[in-house]
A and B are shown apart, each in its own frame.
Chain A
Amino acid sequence: MISRRDFLKQASNAALAASAVQPMLAWAVGDSALAVPGKEGLIVRSYRFLDLETPVEFFNTWITTAEHFFVRNHMHEPATFDPSDWKLNVGGEVEKPYTLNLAQLSKLEPHSVVNTLECAGNGRAFQNPRVPGVQWRKGAVSTGRFSGPRLRDLLERAGVRATGKHVMFRGLDQVPGRVPPFIRSIPIEKAMDPDTLVATRMNGTALPEHHGFPARALAPGWVGAASCKWLTEIKVLDKEFDGNFMSPGYRWPNQPGKPGEAVKPEDTHPLTALNVKSLVASPGDGSTVRAGVVHVRGTAWAGEGDVVRVEVSTDDGSTWQPAELGNEKARYAWRLWSFQWKAKSGDYVIAVRATDSLGRTQPMAPVWNPSGYLNNAVDQVKIHVKA
């Protein structure tokens, strides 16, 4: 078993080696394959900067392995990173600003949260009319077990002043050109929630490099953008952070507009929690199955709500049958579901919709918005059943 010290040493060596081949990529690239160490079979939305989508067929386990966990980067990953030099600054509207190194952070009492992390833009490719951005289809979502100290503990140690209303995260991502840095903030209430973490571990190991090693924010149940990676600064602010990725980025219209119509920034508010949503993981879209009992399965999640019902339709939405929910559950994690379908030969559309404890149910069509966020339309897959 590799020790933490060895791991850090190896990570440090890898970072040093990578820095020698800057500025293109932080890993070796061959001509014949898209090699991303630790990532196998993922859909490449972008290679430089790295954006990888998980194919839905991998959604057959409650916890997504690191190998199959989607990656969303807005910028280039830190390439000249040395864990022994890493520091986390805690400051802003606090009484006692301070700095932690990795060893000091690792000594703080950890807490674990199983969280379904979803990119706000997941499903953007299905918007009509199309909108710009990474054209995620279904798999910019995964579930992991994240561990690390509570953000609340770090903030209380600094002593948050009454003026502290938002908490800003800054990462070590490398910003090209004059692109605004990827800095966002969350309201103080979410920052002080006992499940909001400074996560240092994912699925029982140190955070993988693509997921923010050595530390990331983890705002469970919220859009992935709230959980800044490669964290290096936590700053308490007296108001929402003023930057591109808070406005105009990552905002939702106060009133749904007509598809294709522009929305003024003042008529929007920041995205926070995820919607209720579900996916069919199997059978695959466009696949052929044999008549008889077909095992339909997938996942369903609801941000800060709980999934209470998953229903499946095989007749274009005329009737809906309840699916069976899996036993594994946690407050912010998706539920696996399954449905035994007695299928006769023919062509079908399998549709799935989830309902949550907040009374929300998935719509049949995406709610259009200018950046294509939070598409939680009912998932539909075409199936051919042969005799």
Chain B
Amino acid sequence: MSKLSCAVIALTALLAVPLVRPQSAASPDLPQGPLQAKAITACTECHEARIILQQRLSKAAWTKEVDKMIKWGGLVEPQDHDPLIDYLSTNFGVDKPEYVADRTGSANPKKTKK
């Protein structure tokens, strides 16, 4: 194998890393829905799902958050903008029950409520 091929493979592997995020206790899932995949790529590139799971916001507040995050590098295509806000305000609206957080360490390995 040529040095160039090795370099290309290495570079491809390096670039691929941020695109694949294993889901585990360390990174819980966002809820299912038509915009789940978009929310994962747009939001969890920079922060994990927990930051979203714990919010309880109105649609107006979600709109402000999504627009701020787009300004900060979140990749949301124009056609996904309004559906993403709908997805977030439906799943994490003000009427949803309180989020129950995990704890660190093995003493209290409580699972995340979704």
A and B interact physically: yes
Please report A residues at the B interface, Cβ cutoff 8 Å.
Answer: 22-25, 29-36, 39-49, 52-53, 55, 129-132, 134-135, 176-180
**Can you list the 7 inter-chain pairs with the closest CB atoms, starting with the nearest?**
A177-B73, A178-B73, A176-B46, A40-B105, A29-B26, A135-B54, A48-B48
Residues of B within 8 Å of A55, CB to CB, are 103
Residues of A within 8 Å of B81, CB to CB, are none
Q: Complex Cα distance A134/B99, Å? A: 12
Q: A24-B21, A132-B57, A178-B71 are in contact. Are A52 and B50 (CB under 8 A)?
A: no
Q: Complex Cα distance A25/B21, Å? A: 11
Residues of A within 8 Å of B102, CB to CB, are 34, 43-44
Per DSSP, chain A at the interface is loop
A69 to chain B, nearest CB (A): 12
Across the A-B interface, how many residue pairs have beta carbons closer than 8 Å?
107
B92 to chain A, nearest CB (A): 10
B99 contacts A52, C-beta separation under 8 Å:
no
Q: Which residue of A lies closest to B72 (CB)?
A: A179
Q: Which residues of chain B (53-88) have a CB below 8 Å from chain A?
A: 54-58, 61, 64-65, 71-74
B51 contacts A42, C-beta separation under 8 Å:
no
A252 to chain B, nearest CB (A): 19
B50 contacts A46, C-beta separation under 8 Å:
yes
Q: Complex Cα distance A46/B50, Å? A: 6
Q: Complex Cα distance A115/B74, Å? A: 37
Additional pairs, 6, CB under 8 Å, beyond known A33-B109, A40-B104: A44-B104, A46-B51, A47-B50, A132-B64, A178-B71, A180-B72
Residues of A within 8 Å of B65, CB to CB, are 132
B45 contacts A176, C-beta separation under 8 Å:
yes
Contact of B45 (CB < 8 Å), options: A25, A43, A129, A177: A177
Q: A44-B103, A48-B47 are in contact. Are A23 and B18 (CB under 8 A)?
A: yes
Q: Does B9 contact A (CB under 8 A)?
A: no
Max count, chain B CB within 10 A of own CB: residue among A23, A29, A46, A53: A46
